[in-house]
Every structure is written in structure tokens, then in C-alpha cells.
Amino acid sequence: MTANITFFPVGNGDMTLVKLGDSDETAILIDINIRNAADDDDDDACDVAAELRKRLKKNSKGRPYVDAFLLSHPDQDHCNSLQKHFHLGPVDEYEDEPEEGEELKIFIREMWSSPMIFRRASKNNTLCEEAKAFQKEARRRVKVYRDKNGTEIEEGDRIKIIGEDENGKTDGLEKIIVKVDETFSEINGKNNSYVSIYVLGPVPKQELEEDEEKIAKNHSSVILRFSLSSSRGKKDACLFLTGGDAEVAIWEALWKKHKDNADCLKYDMLLSSHHCSWHVLSYDSWSDSEDPKVNADAKAALSQTIEGAFIISSSVAIKDDTADPPCMGAKDEYISILKYDKERFFCTGEHPSEKNNEPLEFSITDEGPQPPAKKKGPFMATAGIMTSREPLGHG
């Protein structure tokens, strides 16, 4: 069927829709950043809410839905406008007749949430209102699960916990927890043969050399590596690595842990962490140090490309200045990871042009992920970069 990944142009923020190739066209949304400007008809910014809705199916009651919604971590630029566009609360409180000018809210069949990430985030900062709303809904769903002893949980009440919490706080939830280093294929209560998802993070405390406070500052995030089948059902047609805003200490720890068997870090497509921030690759400041050094382990963790891989920056346009994020120095490092094939690096704020952003959509074929065809211009007018690669030896 469809099998594709769409990165919406949301400035320095994330909003990614993964659609599977199954006949249900299962939709997994990772983060949202729907800014007011994008919601304002008079503004030129890409109307990402409309672009998202266009790609979602409606259920038998006419409600638009996502099969799963993951919040990688609770920063504003990853959950902006959650309450405006998504239904939160019991299923029977869904409003089928919205007020004039309002749209039907998007129904979340299954939430994916990481209590450990929330705890780390709230240690340093107060959570934004949208994050609090997400957390409240996650807690409601966990309560439904506990009250019903985990049986007959309906969509709209379903939740998956990513990573165990500390001190037994997630005890009794074993059936809905996916631990770090586990793989899952069950989405919204159904096993899906078109995907398997490896959980790399949140990286547990004992695997980091830092104290919890520093981890929190390093933007601890849920890190997933998707193995996606093509539209025609070919397994592992696209390995997609996405890690929210995880920064250098996290990637360094992941390399130390997996370097002897780094298959779980391999990718055809990487969403560069933290909007192409330099701090994903370095402990030094980009603008303040004279000679900012790349951390070799963090870079190694992010260098496990399969031939023909793509790297995407979900950010505003990347300029040759001292800005961070997005940072030109980080972009240069990613291009080196892509063996200097600049055509395989994409920035949502530059697609198709800096002035006129559109969602960046890759289709997943048997030959791997395919970028959008180039529309006009002096180069190719048709197929963009067609890629093909050797079959994977695993999966």
C-alpha cells in the first residue's frame, strides 16, 4: 500500500508521520509542533495541521485518527498544539459535532509514552501545558489499564510504556512496557508484520556515566530504530533511526554499549537529533570554543549508514553562521557520514525551497527509501535520486 515517512516543516521542532505498507495503512505519528503561524490562513507558513490531516484516515464514526502517537520527550517544540488538534480524555467524551470553525479532533488509538523521560524533563524544568496534558492522558490510560486488569482495553484507551521507570513505578504494567533493547511489532493491539521497532532509549541511568541532572540536560528522549517493510511487503526496506533531541552523552553511551554489535544502530534514514544541533556530536560549544571537537563515539553511533542512506534535519534553514540549532558544523559532519553526498542530506526548512516549505515525503520501495521527485530546475525533472542497495543480511 502506501509505506512512507513524512517530515513536516515545523521550524526547529519535530513532526514525523510513519505510514506502514499494510492494508490498514497504519499511521504512527512521532511528535508534533503545530505553531500558530501554520494554523493561520493568512500566514505563508506550511499548514502542517492540514497536511497531517490530509494523510490520516477516518474511522467508521468519521473521526480522523492515528494508530499510535509517540512523544519523544516533553519539550514544547515536540508537542505544540496537542490539545487543539487531538482528543484527550475518555473515548465517550469525543466531540463529534465541533463548534463552528473548529475541526474534528484527531483520535489517538494508542499512546506511546516514557515516564522516565517525563521524570528527567521535569527535574530541570516545569513541563509546558501541552506536555502536562499528554502526561495527564497517559496517566488516565494507565489507570484504565490497571482498573480493568489489562483486559479488553479499547482503542482510545490503549497505551504503551517505552522503557521501565525506576523504583518499581511501572510494576504491574509489564504487558504494556517495551523495555530498552527489546523489539516490538504490536501496534494498537495488533501484531503488524510490516514493522518491527527496536527500543534504543531512553538510555537507563546505569548505562550513562553522568548523573541524572546531566542526563536531563542532554535531552533524554525515546530513541527508536524502525525496520519498515516496503509498500510491497519486502522486509527491512527502510531502517529509520529517530531519537528526539538526544544529545552527545546519550549517543556516546549507545556507542559504548553497542559497538561490538552495532546492527541496531544501522539506518537508511536518520532524523538528526535536536534539529541538527552541534551538541549531538560534541561537548564543546559551537559558537564559544575556538576549536570545537567532535566526540568520536557519538559520531560513530550516528555513522552506521547502509549504502545510499539519507539524513534529515527537522529545522529552519541551515546557515553558515554561529546559530545552533541548526548548526552548519553539525550538517558538515552529517555530510561526511554520507560520504560527502550532499544530495542525501535534507532540511525540512529548505524543502523544496527556504521560502516555500512543503512536507518532505519519502516513499519506501523494495529498493529502499526514495526522496520526493524534484519538481523543476536545471537538473533532473523526473525521478530524484533513485537508490538501490544490497539486501540486508539480517531480519
Q: Which region, judged by CB under 5 A, interacts with Zn ion, from 62-70, 141-149, 227-235, 245-253?
A: 245-253
Report the nearest approach of Zn ion to the CB of residue 325 (Å). Answer: 8
Restricting to residues 259-318, which ones interact with Zn ion according to CB under 5 A?
none
- Measured from the CB atom, the residue of 11 and 369 that comes closer to Zn ion is 11
C-alpha cell at 362: 519519502
- Measured from the CB atom, the residue of 47 and 77 that comes closer to Zn ion is 77
Report the nearest approach of Zn ion to the CB of residue 217 (Å). Answer: 14
Q: Which region, judged by CB under 5 A, interacts with Zn ion, from 53-61, 243-251, 256-264, 339-347?
A: 243-251
Give Cβ neighbours of residue 240 (< 8 Å, ≥ 6 apart).
5, 18, 225, 226, 228, 267, 268, 269, 270, 271, 369
Residue 227, CB half-sphere, CA atoms under 13 Å: how many? 19
Question: Hunting for cell 484527550 — which residue is that?
Answer: 88
Q: Which region, judged by CB under 5 A, interacts with Zn ion, from 33-41, 155-163, 167-175, 239-247?
A: 239-247
Report the nearest approach of Zn ion to the CB of residue 216 (Å). Answer: 14
Report the nearest approach of Zn ion to the CB of residue 75 (Å). Answer: 5
Does 245 contact Zn ion by CB under 5 A?
Answer: yes
Residue 259 sits at φ, ψ, to 5 deg, of -60, -30
Q: Where are the beta strands (DSSP E) in the chain?
A: 4-7, 16-19, 27-30, 32-33, 65-70, 80, 107-113, 158-162, 177-178, 183-184, 186-187, 190-191, 195-201, 223-228, 238-242, 267-271, 305-313, 345-347, 360-365, 368-370
- Measured from the CB atom, the residue of 77 and 137 that comes closer to Zn ion is 77
Q: Which region, judged by CB under 5 A, interacts with Zn ion, from 34-42, 93-101, 194-202, 238-246?
A: 238-246
User: What is d(CA 73, CA 345) in angstroms, rounded to the nearest whole number?
Assistant: 24
- Measured from the CB atom, the residue of 188 and 220 that comes closer to Zn ion is 220
Candidates 31, 51, 77, 350; binder of Zn ion (CB under 5 A) is 77
Report the nearest approach of Zn ion to the CB of residue 362 (Å). Answer: 21
Q: Which region, judged by CB under 5 A, interacts with Zn ion, from 75-83, 142-150, 204-212, 314-322?
A: 75-83
Report the nearest approach of Zn ion to the CB of residue 246 (Å). Answer: 10
Report the nearest approach of Zn ion to the CB of residue 313 (Å). Answer: 12
- Measured from the CB atom, the residue of 52 and 71 that comes closer to Zn ion is 71
How buried is 235 (Cβ within 10 angstroms: 0-12 exposed, 13-18 middle, 19+ buried)? middle
Q: Which region, judged by CB under 5 A, interacts with Zn ion, from 79-87, 126-134, 154-162, 237-245?
A: 237-245
- In what helix (H) or strand (E) does residue 248 lie, and over which residues does it extend? helix 248-258
Check: CB of residue 384 under 8 Å from CB of residue 374: yes
Quick one: which of 45, 74, 14, 51 has its CA closest to 313?
14
Residue 210, CB half-sphere, CA atoms under 13 Å: how many? 19
Report the nearest approach of Zn ion to the CB of residue 147 (Å). Answer: 34
Quick one: which of 80, 70, 77 has its CA closest to 130?
80
- Measured from the CB atom, the residue of 203 and 237 that comes closer to Zn ion is 203
User: What is d(CA 262, CA 256) in angstroms, rounded to the nearest whole number?
Assistant: 10
Q: Which region, judged by CB under 5 A, interacts with Zn ion, from 17-25, 72-80, 188-196, 201-209?
A: 72-80
Report the nearest approach of Zn ion to the CB of residue 219 (Å). Answer: 7
Q: What angle do CA 155, 158, 163 make, to 5 degrees?
A: 155
Report the nearest approach of Zn ion to the CB of residue 142 (Å). Answer: 25
- Measured from the CB atom, the residue of 77 and 268 that comes closer to Zn ion is 77
* CA 374, 378, 379, 381 torsion-angle sign: positive
Helix (H/G/I), strand (E/B), else coil: 13:
coil
- Measured from the CB atom, the residue of 187 and 360 that comes closer to Zn ion is 360
C-alpha cell at 347: 532540511
Task: Output the CA–CA distances (angstroms, integers) from residue 11 to 213, 242, 313, 359, in the order listed.
Answer: 28, 17, 10, 12
Report the nearest approach of Zn ion to the CB of residue 391 (Å). Answer: 35
Q: Which region, judged by CB under 5 A, interacts with Zn ion, from 76-84, 139-147, 178-186, 205-213?
A: 76-84
Number of residues located near Zn ion, criterion CB under 5 A? 2
Check: CB of residue 30 under 8 Å from CB of residue 18: yes
- Measured from the CB atom, the residue of 65 and 278 that comes closer to Zn ion is 278
- Measured from the CB atom, the residue of 157 and 245 that comes closer to Zn ion is 245
184, β-bridge pairs: 197
- Measured from the CB atom, the residue of 46 and 71 that comes closer to Zn ion is 71
Rule CB under 5 A: which residues touch Zn ion? Answer: 77, 245
